[in-house]
Structure formats: structure tokens, C-alpha cells
Structure 1
């Protein structure tokens, strides 16, 4: 059974590319552009990995990561945060994420990071 990845990014172009690349790598991808109800989506989808954009038009990926890590059913799931703001004073590890990928990102880097985090679990 393919590993499941939940992707949240409000940039539809990035969402489409990530969905295509990960689907090509034989992952089952659930991609969404809205953070509304994302914790329930995660509980229902039961992903093996979550990828969150940091700065969303309707939320913050860091705060969502904290919610995931605080939830008993979801806390074991590794989280990657995408951010175009890596060099600002943001303490990404404080959110509980396992990895941070700077935007723009290399697709091979994304696939390698996903594979390394899923294999560990």
C-alpha cells in the first residue's frame, strides 16, 4: 500500500507540482490549499507524512504543526515545513517539525527528504 502524504500550500502552482512529483514517486497524495479543518482532514486521511507551507493566507504552518504534534492521534507523524522565509528570525524546530525546506526548492531535495522521513517511521 502506498505511503500517504498530506500537503497544504495555498499556492496552487506549488501544490500541483508537489502533488505530481510525489504521485510519480508512488505516494498517495492528498493536496489542499486551505487550512480550514486541516486537523480533521489529517485524522481522517491518516497520513504517513505532512507537508505544510509556513505562511498561508488563512493560517500559519507553524501553528498547524504545533496542533498536529499536540494531538495524540497525529503526533507521531513527521512534518515538513516549506518556507520562503528561512533566513528570518523564525525558530522552525520549536514548532515540532522534523524538517524545513526553503522555497524555492529542488524537487530532488523534496523527494529525498520525504523518503528519509517516511523510511524512519
Structure 2
């Protein structure tokens, strides 16, 4: 059974590339561009890993990460935050994420971090 990954990014090009790359790596990928759909998707699909863009409309990726990690049912799901704001890594880790990927990012780095967190 393949691992399920939920991806939030409001840039449809990035969402498509990430989804295609992870699908190619045999992951089941569910993507969304709207932050308000993330929590219902987590509750309904119980992903094995979540990737959140930090800067999106509505709740940002950090706030979503905090909400997910504060739920006892989902606190152990690894979360990666995408961010173009490299110099704010300490602030991003304060939200409780397990890894940060800086934008622009290398697809090999993405696949390696996903595989590491899912082991």
C-alpha cells in the first residue's frame, strides 16, 4: 500500500510538479491550493505526510502545522513546510514542523526529505 501525502501550495505550477514527482515515486498524492481545505482533508484521508506552503491565503502553513500537531490523532504525522523565506527557519520550526524546504527547491531534495521522514 502506497503512502499518502497531502500537499498545500497556492501556486498551481508548483503543486503540479510536486504532485507529479511524488506520484512518480509511488506515493499517493492529494493536492490542494486552499488552506481552508487542509484540516478536513487531514481528518478524512489520514495522510502519512503533509507538505505545506508557508505563504498562502487564509491560515498560513505554519498556523496549519500548529493546528495539526496539536491534535492528538494527527500529532505524529511528519510535516514539511515550503518557504521562500530561508532566513526565518527558526520561526518556521517553532510551528512544530519536522522539516523545511526552501523555495526554489530541488526535486531530489524533496524526494529525499519525504523518504527520510516516512522511514
TM range (shorter): over 0.9
> Where do 5+ consecutive residues of structure 1 fail to align?
none
SS at match of 1:36: helix
1:91 and 2:91 matched: yes
TM-score (norm 1): 0.94
Gaps of 5+ in 2: none
Partner of 2:4: 4
Aligned residues: 119
Q: Which contiguous aligned blocks of 4+ residues in structure 1 show a shift greater than 6 angstroms?
A: none
Distance of 2:39 and 2:66 partners within structure 1: 11
Following TM superposition, by how much is the alpha carbon of 1:92 offset from its aligned partner in structure 2, in angstroms?
1.2
1:37-48 matched pairs, under 5 angstroms = 37-48=37-48
1 or 2, which has the higher helix percentage? Answer: 2
Q: Report the RMSD for the aligned CA atoms in angstroms.
A: 1.1
- TM value normalised by structure 2: 0.96
Distance in 2 between residues matched to 1:20 and 1:65, nearest whole Å = 23
Q: Please state how far the C-alpha of 1:58 moved relative to its aligned partner.
A: 2.5
Query: How far is 1:46 from its partner?
Result: 0.6
